[in-house]
Copies of this chain bind each other. A is one copy, B any other.
Amino acid sequence: MVAISALRHRLYHFLFDQRTRTGRRFEALCGLFALLSVIVIFIESGIGTTYHLTFDEWHAFMLLEVGFTLMFTLEYLLRVCCWPQPARYVFSFWGFIDLATILPLYVILLWPEIGVEYLFAWRAMRVIRVLRILKLLRLMPALNSLWSAIVNSRHQLILFYAFIGIVMVVAGALMYGIEGPVNGFTTLSTSVYWAIVTVTTVGYGDITPHTAPGRTVASILILIGYSVIAIPTGIITAQMTSEFQKRRHERVCPHCKQRDHDPKARYCNGCGTALPRELGA
């Protein structure tokens, strides 16, 4: 029993601990396979729309998919077995992603007609498998800066998105009243969709104002809304900058306690002592 526990512990350190070289390599390998798998799904989707797949082609893609699924199933089982607290992994974001992206194949094997019967199910399976790309995020610990920038400014961000939401609803309702269903503003929600597409300057052009008052209101809305909608962008950027500076400030020389080292510095420029590796870099 102790032996198994020790083995699990050792395996965890060998395969999943990001502080060991083997752990980082195993993660990179999983990421590489996730990337390859997603590229295969994209090619399959591209060919499958242009030509009808021949049986041989379909066979080849099926085989590849079986291979990838087996690999990711193995990875999932290893993670469940080795994790210090398996339940925590299983119910975490990564646990769900790792499980969900191996399920489609098993669903097809258990219920082979589903893809033929329901076109939506066929598409949904492809979409779920594409989520494997998210595994690559594990290779980017530096994104923690972005994440903590968003978390730290969540009050401001929620406030601004709520404010933008209210402005969009009012602007959409106004245009719905002015232009009306004749000019494409069929429902209130369509008008709000138009307002979001317009003020963010996406401007598809599928719905556009056609009357003179509608165009006037739209012009004013664009000019003013445009100056306000960039505020969340500004908040995230400012928070990220201060996050980077804080991180830099937190890296202290263990010998002379000097701060503010260059992010790429390996040795303290005051006393020459080796600096600790930066967190999340």
> Which residues of the partner chain B approach A137 to less than 8 Å between Cβ atoms?
163, 166
Q: Known contacts A189-B212, A238-B241; is A140 also within 8 Å of B123 by CB?
A: no
Q: How far in angstroms is the closest Cβ of chain B from A45?
A: 4
Determine which of B133, B159, B186, B203 lies in contact with A170 in the assembled complex, contact meaning CB atoms within 8 Å: B133
Inter-chain contact A49/B186, CB cutoff 8 Å:
yes
Copies in the complex: 4
Q: Which residues of B contact A233 (CB under 8 A)?
A: 226-227, 230
Assess whether A180 is interfacial by the CB under 8 Å rule: yes
A15 in contact (CB, < 8 A): no
Q: Which of B156, B223, B231 contacts A200 (CB 8 A)?
A: B223
Contacts of A131 in B (CB 8 A): 170, 173
Q: In whole angstroms, what is the CA distance A180 to B133 when docked?
A: 20
Chain B residues closer than 8 Å to A127, beta-carbon distance: 173-174, 176-177
- In the complex, identify which listed stretch (A191-199, A250-258, A268-276) lies at the interface while the others stay far away: A191-199
Q: Which residues of B contact A188 (CB under 8 A)?
A: 41-42, 45-46, 126, 130
Residues of A in contact with B, size category = 35 or more
Docked pose: A192 CA to B169 CA in angstroms: 26
A161 close to B223 (CB less than 8 A): yes
In Å, the complex CA distance between A46 and B45 comes to: 33
Q: Which secondary structure dominates chain A's binding surface?
A: helix
Chain B residues with Cβ below 8 Å from A181 are 49
Is A120 part of the contact surface with B, judged by Cβ < 8 Å?
yes
Given A133-B170, A188-B42: A226 touches B200 (CB 8 Å cut-off): yes
Contacts of A134 in B (CB 8 A): 166, 170
Question: A136 to nearest B CB, angstroms?
Answer: 6
The residue in A48, A119, A206, A235 that gathers the most chain B C-beta atoms within 10 A of its C-beta is A206
Contact A187 B49 (CB under 8 A): yes
Chain B residues within an 8 Å CB radius of A163: 137, 140, 143, 146
Chain A 217-229, CB-CB to B under 8 Å as 1, else 0, gives 0110011001111
Q: Could you tell me the distance in whole angstroms from the C-beta of A248 to the nearest C-beta in chain B?
A: 13
Partner of A201, one of B200, B206, B223: B200
Give 9 closest A-B pairs by Cβ, nearest first. A202-B203, A127-B177, A204-B205, A130-B173, A205-B205, A45-B188, A227-B232, A196-B219, A193-B215
Residues of A within 8 A of B (CB): 38, 41-42, 45-46, 48-49, 119-120, 123-124, 126-127, 130-131, 133-134, 136-137, 140, 142-143, 146, 156, 159, 161-164, 166, 169-170, 173-174, 176-177, 180-181, 186-190, 192-193, 196-198, 200-206, 208, 212, 215-216, 218-219, 222-223, 226-238, 240-241
A-B residue pairs in contact (CB < 8 Å), sample of 5: A130-B188, A136-B166, A143-B159, A201-B202, A226-B232
